[in-house]
Structure formats: C-alpha cells, structure tokens
Structure 1
C-alpha cells in the first residue's frame, strides 16, 4: 500500500496530499520526487487494505478464540504469544509442520482443555507445558485420539519409555506427540511428522 511503506513522508495541502517517493535507481537525479495525490484516493486504498485484513481475521470466531486464549493464560504467555500458538496450531498462521494439509479451523476450548489435561496426566507441569507449547505450538492442533494417545502407547509399549524418561523426552522432542507416519526409510515426504526422525 502506498502510505504504509513510506512511514510518514506525507504532507497535506488542502484536499491533496504530497507523497515523497524515492527516485528510480536509473535516474540521473538522487533524492526523492514529490507526487501530489488526492487524499480520497489514499483513503480508498487504506479502506481496501483494512477490509482485506479484517476478512483474514473474521474467519476466527472471536468468542471461541478468546476462550482458548484464556485457557492458555495460566502458562504465562503474553497476548501475542497466545495468538501465535493458536494460529500455528489451527492453520491461521503458516507452519512447516503441517506442510499444506492443515485447513483453518476454529479451536474449541473443550478440545484444548482435553489435550492439556492429557499432557498433565503424563507428568508435565504447567511450566513444562509452557516449554512444550513454546517449542511445538502445533501440539494443540494434533488429534488426541488419533495421534497423541497412540504415540504415547508406542513410546511406552514398544520403546519402554515411561515416567520421568517420558517427561524428559517430551520436553526435548514434543513433536513426537504428532507423528503420524513411519516411512521406515522409504521417504514419503512427510518428514516433519515421521517416526524416522525419532
């Protein structure tokens, strides 16, 4: 947008606004050029920009989003961190972990609380959960029944990792909670979610 990338090089005269633009690098002159533009045209561009931003955030249910942020407030995350964690977990922010498969979803506080309670049942304190979510915010968007519980079963039954060892593993590598493929060395291009990384 015209005004946003120029910080504040605007001078208003009557119904027009002078915008200072850098001259082309190919120009024989140095410095800036003064371009007179209507304030109405700048205002229209600003309105269009705002509408696009609002459309992006309107896909979230504000009430549900705020409830979920409230559920995260006990872990000492600031507001920006809460938004980032939920955004990455539920497809509102890009995350390499999901590749292209994660559709935008509105989080549900009930599901969020179930996941947090399950993680607490594994011996993770609130301080531990802060570290897990900081390192792997996508954990809140993983499936409790299809990924987390089966994965913990694999760690306990096949690898014999339980108790304090399990807690230490989850703090070191929380992505193990979301593994959902084992290519056994024959790559299927799902590296961020593959047991081969374990």
Structure 2
C-alpha cells in the first residue's frame, strides 16, 4: 500500500511538473507515452513509387490512372526503357494523346525492348503493305493489337482479309474495332465462321460489313454464331433475305437471356404468339430497354389509339424516338384532325414513318396558310412544350 501511494505521488508530481523524477528520465522515455497517442494520419506518407511518378510526369496520367497502370510495372526502377519506348512511338508519328492512350490501355508496352520487340511488330505490317500512317492509326485506335503483331500470326490473316477488302484502310478499320480478328484462332474460329456465314447465304459484301461493323461477330466462338442463326431461324426469317441479315446482326449484340426476357416482356404486354413473331422481326426492338419498350407500347395503345395487332404489323414504330418523333407528330396529327385540315384519316404508321423533310412539306407547310401557328406548334412540341 505504501509503494502504491509512493508511485501515485510520483506520477502526480510528474504530471504537475513538480517532481524531480522527470529530470532523471531520458528524453526517449518522455516521448514513448506520446507515441501511443499519435494518429496514423500524422505519420509521413510513404514515398510515391518511381513508376507511378513517371507515369504522371512523363505521360500526364492522373494519380488513379497511374496507380492502376503501375501494378504491372512495379519492377521498373529506371526511366531508361520507358523513355526509349516513348521515343520510338514519337518517331513513328504517334501524338502525345496516342501514347497516353496506348500506355493506359496496354501499360506493359513500357517494358518492351524497342529493337527486339516493338520494331519487328511494325516491320511485319510494313512488309504486308501497310503505310506508316495506317500502322499508326491501327495501333492508336486499338493498342492491344501490339500483343498480336507477330509475323506468323498476322501474315495469314491479312492474306485472308485481302480477299474481302478492297483496301488496307478497310482492314485497319475492321481490326481497330474488333481485336478478336487478331486474337481469335484463325483456323478454329475465323475461317469456320466465315464459312458458316456463307452457308447462311451472306454475300461477300455482307461479310465485309460484319468484319468492319459487326463488333465481335466473326471473331466469336463458332458455337455462339450457330446459336444466333438458329434463333433467327426460329423466328421464321428465311436465309438469304435482308431481314435475316439484319436480325442476325442485332442478335449478335443480345445475349440469350436478354432475348428470352424480351420475348417474355412482349408477351406480358398483351401480344399474341403470332404478333410476337411479327414484332420481334424488327431487330431494334431487342436492343430497347424494358422501360423504353413498355413506355412506347403504352403510348401507342393509350395515346395514339393503335391496336397491338397494328403495332405488330408495323414493328418499326416501336423503334422510333418517343420525344423526337412519336409524341410531337401524334400531337400534330390530333390537332390538324380536330381543325378539320385532313380530308381523311391517315394511318398512324404512315404519319410517323415518313422523313422529316416530307413530313414538314406534307403536313406542316401545306396547312400553314389555314393554321399559321402550326410550324411553331410542331417546333414547340418537338422541344417538349405543348401550346394547346
């Protein structure tokens, strides 16, 4: 008990500054209790890794971008190799924006050896007839192409593409949009898919269109391509028809689950099985969100007075814009009918499907003398403001 009291008095004396014991304590012991109360926020921040700082200073990447890219470049401790890579790109006509995009998309390129890795990739394309401008355009558009530009991988592909494309510019455009044309197996994927498209009676022009515009079509798994064609067949669309091609292209961008869900949704909106088969042949419908599709069908039935059977016979109506086409034209149609400007009733499809120029001439300017405010009414309705 005496010892406890003695220690307590020493502690009180220490805290009050009157005890001589404090004089005997070394400075390090005095600081020890304070460290226990020091927050981590007060600690000096760790030093920024070299490669992160390099990416920020040399390429203009933001801190989050540099941090993300640096994860595969932590072994780089010197600017020597990255500098040589950047210099190589600049000498080959790449802008700073191009180099920034390449480094952000394919950061490991900064590890590449210029003479043994990068230069041979460029030489391969030059040997195959691509100009320096075309090479720069291809790699700037799709930096991941650098991963696949080996002689044995590229040459047979370009020889195949040359049988379809009229120019190297078209090949550049196709590869820029779809890296699968370089990454997918030529023998197991590209060639079998092209052969299958011919079985579907696609002309060379259609195949070229798919190569240039059909993102990840020719380069996807053959099994997937056959599954899509099967779904188009199930819709009753005949091979060789323009509708088969358009529906096929649309389904290439829609998963099986999405396709099935869209069919189910249309059924829940009241379309019969036969009407479903008709309306689903409008490929754009498959790309509409559930909300968009429901809103359009609701508008067409309740506001425009269309029967579901009418919509199914004219499925392109559902692909038209609500705010730019359906709502303002329906508003004008109701207005000019109320004013007795139309001699006979016009089908809603005919009213909304014609081009803007023809619509203005036929239904706006032709009635302007009898209803001077009509152009302004239509213009306001197109902007979401209704004057009447």
| TM-score of the superposed pair, with normalisation by structure 1 | 0.54
Q: What is the aligned partner in structure 2 of residue 170 from structure 1?
A: 245
Q: Name the structure with the higher strand share.
A: 1
Once the two structures are TM-superposed, the CA of residue 178 in structure 1 deviates from its matched residue by 4.9
Match runs of 1:131-170 below 5 Å = 131-145=209-223, 147-157=224-234, 159-165=235-241, 167-170=242-245
Tell me: higher relative CO, structure 1 or 2? Use CA pairs within 8 A at least 6 residues apart: 1
2:113 aligned with 1:76: no
2:144 aligned with 1:66: no
Once the two structures are TM-superposed, the CA of residue 80 in structure 1 deviates from its matched residue by 3.7
Runs (5+) with no aligned partner, structure 1: 1-43, 93-104, 187-193
Write the deviation string for residues 1-30 of structure 1: whole angstroms up to 9, x where unpaired. xxxxxxxxxxxxxxxxxxxxxxxxxxxxxx
- DSSP-derived class of the 1:139 partner: coil
Rounded to whole Å, the distance in 2 between the matches of 1:58 and 1:45 is 16
Once the two structures are TM-superposed, the CA of residue 77 in structure 1 deviates from its matched residue by 4.3
Once the two structures are TM-superposed, the CA of residue 129 in structure 1 deviates from its matched residue by 1.1
Match runs of 1:40-119 below 5 Å = 47-49=84-86, 50=88, 52=110, 54=118, 58-62=146-150, 63-90=152-179, 106-110=183-187, 111-119=189-197
Rounded to whole Å, the distance in 2 between the matches of 1:173 and 1:106 is 23
1:76–1:163 Cα change, 3 Å: same
Contact 2:202 2:240 in 1 (8 A): no
Rounded to whole Å, the distance in 1 between the matches of 2:231 and 2:252 is 10
Rounded to whole Å, the distance in 2 between the matches of 1:143 and 1:195 is 25
Write the deviation string for residues 173-193 of structure 1: whole angstroms up to 9, x where unpaired. 62423532433259xxxxxxx
1:57–1:89 Cα change, 3 Å: closer
Once the two structures are TM-superposed, the CA of residue 72 in structure 1 deviates from its matched residue by 1.1
Once the two structures are TM-superposed, the CA of residue 121 in structure 1 deviates from its matched residue by 0.5
The 4+ residue runs of structure 1 with deviation greater than 6 A are none
Contact 1:155 1:161 in 2 (8 A): yes
Rounded to whole Å, the distance in 1 between the matches of 2:158 and 2:228 is 26
2:218 aligned with 1:128: no
Q: What is the aligned partner in structure 2 of residue 179 from structure 1?
A: 254
Select 1:196's aligned residue among 260, 269, 286: 286
- DSSP-derived class of the 1:75 partner: coil
Q: What is the aligned partner in structure 2 of residue 27 from structure 1?
A: none
Once the two structures are TM-superposed, the CA of residue 139 in structure 1 deviates from its matched residue by 1.1
| TM-score of the superposed pair, with normalisation by structure 2 | 0.30
Rounded to whole Å, the distance in 2 between the matches of 1:174 and 1:153 is 13
Write the deviation string for residues 147-177 of structure 1: whole angstroms up to 9, x where unpaired. 21111111112x1112233x44325762423
Rounded to whole Å, the distance in 2 between the matches of 1:130 and 1:115 is 13
**RMSD of equivalent CA atoms:** 4.0
Q: Name the structure with the higher helix share.
A: 2
Once the two structures are TM-superposed, the CA of residue 144 in structure 1 deviates from its matched residue by 1.2
Rounded to whole Å, the distance in 2 between the matches of 1:195 and 1:180 is 14
1:179–1:75 Cα change, 3 Å: same
